[in-house]
Amino acid sequence: MATEEAVSVSRASACLCVLCGLPAAGKSTLARRILSTAAQHGWRATVVPYDDLIPEQAFRTKVVEDGVNLQEMFLQKSEILPEAPSSSGISVAAWEQCTQGLMGPKGLKPPLVFLLDDNFYYPSMRYEVCQLARKYSLGFCQVYLQCDLESCISRNQSRSQPVPTEVILEMVKRLESPNPQKNSWEINSITLNSTGTVSKSDIQRVMELISSALNNPLSLGEDNKEQKDADRLKCANSVVHQADQACRRLISEAMKTARENKVPPERMRSLAAQLSESKATFLHNLGKHFLHEVPFIQGEEINVEHAAKRAAEIFNDDLKEILSRIMNDK
C-alpha cells in the first residue's frame, strides 16, 4: 500500500539513479533486478549503460569529447522514442534498447527512472548528474556497490570483453565512494555489499531510495546555496592561509627582537609558546568570522589579499603586547 501511495504522489516525477562502483562490482546485474521490480510497481525505467552506448572508439570523436550528455538527450525526448544523435559515435542498438523502457501506456505518465550504469569513481562525475537533476527538477539518488577487489578481478576475467586488470587496480586508488558528511548533495545515497549476492532486502532498500528521490525532486535554489557555501569556505580558507603565512613572519621577527634584547632562554621558550597559542586561537576565530559573519554578495568577490593583510595587522597588536610583557618581565 505504501508503495502504491508513493507511486501516486510521484506520478509526474522522474529520477536519475547513479549506480557506481568498480568494474564487475555488480552494477549491471543490480540494474536488471531493479528494472524488473520497477515494472511491478508500474514505473517506467531504463538502464543507461555507458560502456555499451559509447564504444571505446567513440571517445576519439570530437562530439563525445565535447560532452555528449546521454541523460539530457533522454530527458529532452522522453515522451517519444528518441533516436540516437547522428555522428555522435553512440551505438544505435544500445540506444534503442535503452529507450524501450521509456514508453509507458498511452495517456499515463508513470514515474520515470534512469539507472545510470558507470563507474563514477570521482565525486565530480556524480555531481554533474546531480546538477542535471536540479536543472530539470528531478529526483536524484546514488547506489554504491561495495565489492572486494579480488571478486571484481575474478568476475571481470570471466567476461567476454574484460577490462584490463591494471585499469581496475588504478581505479581502486582513485575511487571515492559517496560521502554525505563531506558532500551534502550525496545525502540520498546507500551502500550495498555486492561481494556476495544482492538480497531481496537490498532491492527493497534501492526501491525505497528511488521512491524517496521521486517524491523529493531537487531544485536550482539548493544548488545556489551549496555553491555559496562552497565559495564562502574557499574564501575563508584562502584568507586564513595567507594570514597564517603573515603571522609566521611576524612571530619570527618577534623572536629575533627578543634574542637581540638578550631575553633569557626560559623566557624565550615561554614567548614562543605564547605566540604559537595566540596565533592558533587568532586563526581559528578568523576562519569562523569569515564562515559565519562576513556578508557575501553574489557576484562580488572578497579581496583575499587585503583581508589577510588586515588580519595580520590585528594579530601584530596582540604579538607586540605579548613581546612587551616578556621583555619587561623582571
Low-confidence stretches of the chain (pLDDT < 50) are: 1-12, 53-68, 77-92, 94-95, 103-104, 107, 298-299
| 80-107 burial: b if 16+ Cβ within 10 Å, else e | eebebeeebbbbeebbeebbebbebeee
Residues 176 and 117 in one domain: yes
Residues 160 and 261 in one domain: no
Q: DSSP H helical segments within the chain, as ranges?
A: 2-9, 27-40, 50-53, 62-65, 70-76, 92-100, 123-135, 149-157, 165-174, 200-215, 220-260, 265-292, 304-327
Which pLDDT score is estimated for 62?
35
Query: DSSP character for 90?
Result: -
Residues 122 and 160 in one domain: yes
Which pLDDT score is estimated for 79?
45
Q: DSSP H helical segments within 137-219, as ranges?
A: 149-157, 165-174, 200-215
Residues 98 and 177 in one domain: yes
Which pLDDT score is estimated for 56?
44
Which pLDDT score is estimated for 149?
95
Comparing CA positions, the residue from 37, 48, 24, 163 lying closest to residue 100 is 48
Residues 55 and 171 in one domain: yes
Which pLDDT score is estimated for 93?
55
Query: Of 218, 239, 259, at which residue does a domain stop?
Result: 218
Q: Measured between alpha carbons, how far is 37 from 203 in angstroms, rounded to an integer?
A: 8
Residues 108 and 202 in one domain: yes
Residues 95 and 22 in one domain: yes
Residues 108 and 128 in one domain: yes
The whole-angstrom distance between residue 130's C-alpha and the CA centroid of its chain comes to 9
Which pLDDT score is estimated for 69?
52
Q: Measured between alpha carbons, how far is 179 from 186 in angstroms, rounded to an integer?
A: 6
Does residue 70 contact residue 50 with C-beta atoms inside 8 Å? yes
Which pLDDT score is estimated for 144?
97
Which pLDDT score is estimated for 61?
36
Q: Which residues have C-beta within 8 Å of that of residue 287, sequence separation ≥ 6?
A: 236, 237, 239, 240
Which pLDDT score is estimated for 81?
40
Residues 238 and 173 in one domain: no
Does residue 138 contact residue 14 with C-beta atoms inside 8 Å? yes
Query: What pLDDT, in 10s, does the model give residues 156-197?
Result: 999 988 989 998 998 898 899 999 888 888 999 999 999 988
Residues 199 and 228 in one domain: no
Which pLDDT score is estimated for 146?
95
Provide the domain limits for residue 267.
224-327
Half-sphere exposure of 313 (CA within 13 A, CB side): 6
Number of domains in the chain: 2
0.85 surpassed by pTM? no
Query: Of 201, 218, 235, at which residue does a domain stop?
Result: 218
Largest CA distance in the chain: 93
Bridge pairing between strands 14-20 and 112-117: parallel
Query: Of 218, 246, 267, at which residue does a domain stop?
Result: 218
Q: Which residues have C-beta within 8 Å of that of residue 98, sequence separation ≥ 6?
A: 46, 47, 48, 49, 53, 74
Orientation of helix 200-215 relative to helix 27-40, angle to 10°:
70
Residues 261 and 289 in one domain: yes
Q: In what order do the strands lie in the sheet with 189-193?
A: 44-49, 112-117, 14-20, 139-146, 189-193
Residues 319 and 199 in one domain: no
Q: Interior CA angle at 207 toward 204 and 210, to 5°?
A: 150
